Amino acid sequence: MQSFQRYIRDVISELRKVTWPTWEELKGSTVVVIFFSIVMGFYIATIDFGLSKLVGTFLK
């Protein structure tokens, strides 16, 4: 039980040292992540579509 209490104290101590982002930084980072996810989704979908057509051509 002592080790668990020490663990919790250490976690709280470390969380106090964290530099949390501001609301504006958080919104900006969220926009970047959403944009990058959409771009990568289109990229992967395009590669998938192209490869499936290529494999379909070979299997006919």
Note the pLDDT tens digit of each residue in 20-58.
999 999 999 999 999 999 999 999 999 999 999 999 998
Number of domains in the chain: 1
**How many residues are there in the chain?**
60
Residue 9 belongs to some domain of the structure: no
Does residue 60 register a pLDDT over 90?
A: no
pLDDT at res. 1: 81
Say if residues 44 and 36 touch (Cβ distance below 8 Å). no
**For the whole model, what pTM was predicted?**
0.66
Residue 40 belongs to some domain of the structure: yes
Domain of 54, in residue numbers: 25-60
Q: Write out the two tokens for 53.
A: 């057509």
Residue 8 belongs to some domain of the structure: no
Residue 16 belongs to some domain of the structure: no
